[in-house]
Structure 1
């Protein structure tokens, strides 16, 4: 019941800003390009620079909830630390009449989820492993700088000229504890969550070339015909076998899986 009431409330309160509206006397709304559980994302024109920008708004239905505001502010703090060509760059943040916004660069690219499900793009085993390798480079950058994405999913990956871009850092975290034992344990937990998500993405990619006439649902180890090195990599990513605790170990197994495809 309460969920239905909340959805009803959000339907009327979370109406997107209309095309042509100008935010902060600077950002003219061109279109809505995405909606998430706590944000609405707009493509805007920066009237000062004449460049396209992305503006994310905290959903109006959440703007009075301290927990949601804190999540929004956390995302801004993460974006402020990022300095990578394949990740968003924070340009601005502002509030107006109790509504919260921040501004990023516009990354041209196609959403990986749409490419798979709408455009029917497929990835063979080697292509899947190569894309995983590129994603792992981005995750390595984050982990090296004490950041953990925690929401690595195909909707949060853009592809441009086969190069992946990571977006949506709404659930991302940093290590801030002064207790080294607690920090080390938490760090490993967050690392392994990112690794698990990478395994989930790899499985999605591998299934894009799969078609079955078998009515019985089988585990992926039986449905997919993969090199044993790729199976080993996936089992550890997905915690079926001992999970990875270090990115160098993961990279070594990924390299081995790629080499096996060349034989």
Structure 2
């Protein structure tokens, strides 16, 4: 059954060819990504002569994943941040659904690590996560929780970090139709805390991932990261709380305080080594 479904998807989900113009405006230049429910194209906006990113809902998913696709569009409409893609419009074309967003130069972290072989020392890793934390804080203040913070969903242009792919994000509003604050129920509060801490946990996994890019194993036997990595105490403490080994964080302010302490300790260690 699974093989039949894959054959069906292969036949139905053929990417749009280079040179095709969508909505009499967006000329397809190339396919730049494929996901479980979307195909992403680099397009030229024939009206502005600028590059745009156009995401298409896979035709094979148009009956099951429309709500998810429209949810991603609604989330992007609520965002206005220089390090998050800007939504321009959504449209349908020959029965397929699309939306258009700004094109951001840069490689995702996954490509940088595995194809470019880039490595990140402790300070560099903390600085990347510091930028990501600022974006997470921005989202959480808008009651939006990304829920899919992974290295393929982060772009680096020079040292500027950008966050993409809001397909799995969740939006929880705790105001009434008149925009007056209301008290959320204990269940709602627990749900929101769970979503926050999922994003925090993902921050911890990304930090750990980055730190391991600068690690070469000398042991045949795999050891816990607490034994394999030589980290400042402040960085180890930050990681343990993000990964919920110690008391989990409940807000971004707490994380920011500990992250700055880790950066300060790392900087001090670097300066001490220079003096030696």
Taking structure 1 as the reference length, the TM-score comes to: 0.96
Aligned equivalents of 2:161 and 2:5: distance in 1? 35
Give 1 or 2 for the bigger CA radius of gyration: 2
More moved, 78-87 vs 250-259: 250-259
Equivalent position to 1:259, from 245, 253, 264:
264
In structure 2, runs of 5+ residues without a counterpart are 176-182, 269-276
Matches within 5 A, 1:148-167: 148-167=145-164
Aligned equivalents of 1:261 and 1:50: distance in 2? 45
Aligned equivalents of 2:259 and 2:3: distance in 1? 45
**Aligned match of 2:123:** 126
The 8 Å contact of residues 193 and 250 in structure 2, kept in 1 or not, is answered as yes
The 8 Å contact of residues 132 and 161 in structure 2, kept in 1 or not, is answered as yes
Aligned equivalents of 1:84 and 1:174: distance in 2? 17
Matches within 5 A, 1:21-40: 21-40=20-39
Q: Equivalent residue of 1:180, what SS?
A: coil
Matches within 5 A, 1:52-201: 52-65=51-64, 68-176=65-173, 180-181=184-185, 182-201=187-206
Aligned residues: 260
Deviations 1:130-158 (A, max 9, x none): 11111111111111111111111000000
**Aligned match of 1:211:** 216
Deviations 1:34-93 (A, max 9, x none): 00111000000111111111000001110122xx10000000000001100000100010
CA RMSD, aligned part only?
1.2
Structure 1 segments (4+ residues) deviating >6 Å: none
In structure 1, runs of 5+ residues without a counterpart are none
Matches within 5 A, 1:232-251: 232-251=237-256
Deviation of 1:28 (Å): 0.5
Aligned equivalents of 1:5 and 1:234: distance in 2? 44
Deviation of 1:242 (Å): 1.2
Deviation of 1:262 (Å): 2.5
Q: Equivalent residue of 1:4, what SS?
A: helix
Deviation of 1:18 (Å): 0.2
Q: Equivalent residue of 1:83, what SS?
A: coil
Deviations 1:80-130 (A, max 9, x none): 011000001000100123210000011111111100000000000011011
Tell whether 2:27 aligns with 1:41. no
Aligned equivalents of 2:267 and 2:22: distance in 1? 53
Aligned equivalents of 2:9 and 2:235: distance in 1? 44
Aligned equivalents of 2:188 and 2:92: distance in 1? 33
Taking structure 2 as the reference length, the TM-score comes to: 0.92
Aligned equivalents of 2:78 and 2:211: distance in 1? 33
